[in-house]
């Protein structure tokens, strides 16, 4: 009987030890703290020979983090999200409709720019719906479709005024894709602070900008936007990401003015956050910049997971 009792005690003791070890390695583990997140992101930014701005906003609690948030970063194609908002607002107001057909003469189209639309319909006049123009602009970052939409809503100044009317001020939209193409300096007139970018994303996420049908359509476009190695590949596959990236060319000195991504991330654990990543004035390789952006995104994910 004594030996049976001792075996019983040994079994219980072994199980308690196993439970303790499991709890110490899993159950009692803690996520990284905000201070650790800020320290890691600051170190990553300092490691890059670029001007890097980052903003993160918890869409549930409102908690904010920001790095270099007073600087004006050139947006490049990130501003196609802003344009999409402005166009869909006109649809909400009944000024335009998604099914409205726009006629464009082929002479007005730039054949020497990024334009999946004219690759699909080469050397011809276009008869395209506003819905399709938005798909080309936001999903595929088409420069011709973008400038057609700018013309429909009255130009960059009108889009800029609409964005400011939402209460987000630290954004400036002054030039079309065609105008940016004319001179290197023009792209810097379309700028945003990282904080302003996540503020606008928050307003969109909360449904404060558009009616539901238009909101859902734009969210669909963002989710299906050209897959980004900068943001999406740093997150788990079950995360839902709606984003808009933007990239400039390089000048004669090899400097890339803009390498950006902004987006809303919905994690499977119920967490939601907005993030803006702006990299400017960079001589780093694209591979190094992508890795930097992925590393920053992973740190943020680690905090929220």
Catalytic residue positions? 77, 177
SS3 string, 193-227, reads CHHHHHHHHHHHHCCCCCCHHHHHHHHHHHHCCCC
Q: How many other CB atoms are there within 10 angstroms of residue 145's CB atom?
A: 31
CB-based contact 80:141 (threshold 8 Å): yes
CB-based contact 247:258 (threshold 8 Å): yes
**Which are the contacts of 246, defined by CB distance < 8 A and separation ≥ 6?**
75, 76, 77, 78, 79, 80, 141, 258, 260, 261
27 secondary structure, DSSP code: I
Euclidean distance between CA atoms 198 and 200, whole angstroms: 5
Torsion of CA 153, 154, 157, 158, to 10 degrees: -50
């Amino acid at each position: 009987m004594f030996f049976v009792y001792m075996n019983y005690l040994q079994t219980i003791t072994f199980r308690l030890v196993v439970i303790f070890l499991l709890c110490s390695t899993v159950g009692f583990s803690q996520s990284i703290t905000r201070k650790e997140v800020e320290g890691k992101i600051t170190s990553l930014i300092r490691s890059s020979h670029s001007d890097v701005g980052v903003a993160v906003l918890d869409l549930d609690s409102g908690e904010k983090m920001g790095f270099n948030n007073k600087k004006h970063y050139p947006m490049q194609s990130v501003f196609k999200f802003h344009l999409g908002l402005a166009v869909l607002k006109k649809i909400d107001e009944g000024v335009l409709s998604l099914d409205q057909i726009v006629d464009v003469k082929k002479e007005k189209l730039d054949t020497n720019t990024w334009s999946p639309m004219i690759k699909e319909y080469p050397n011809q006049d276009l008869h395209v719906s506003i819905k399709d123009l938005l798909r080309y602009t936001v999903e595929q970052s088409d420069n011709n479709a973008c400038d057609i939409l700018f013309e429909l809503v009255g130009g960059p100044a009108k889009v800029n005024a609409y964005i400011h009317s939402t209460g987000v001020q630290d954004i400036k939209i002054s030039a079309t894709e065609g105008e940016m193409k004319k001179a290197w300096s023009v792209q810097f007139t379309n700028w945003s602070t990282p904080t302003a970018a996540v503020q606008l994303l928050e307003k969109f996420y909360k449904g404060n900008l558009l009616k539901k049908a238009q909101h859902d359509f734009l969210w669909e476009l963002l989710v299906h936007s050209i897959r980004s190695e900068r943001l999406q590949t740093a997150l788990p596959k079950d995360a839902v990401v709606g984003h808009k990236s933007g990239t400039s060319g390089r000048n004669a000195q090899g400097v890339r003015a803009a390498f950006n991504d902004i987006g809303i991330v919905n994690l499977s654990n119920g967490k939601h956050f907005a993030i803006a990543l702006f990299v400017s004035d960079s001589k780093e390789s694209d591979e190094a910049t992508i890795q930097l952006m992925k590393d920053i995104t992973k740190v943020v994910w680690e905090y929220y997971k």
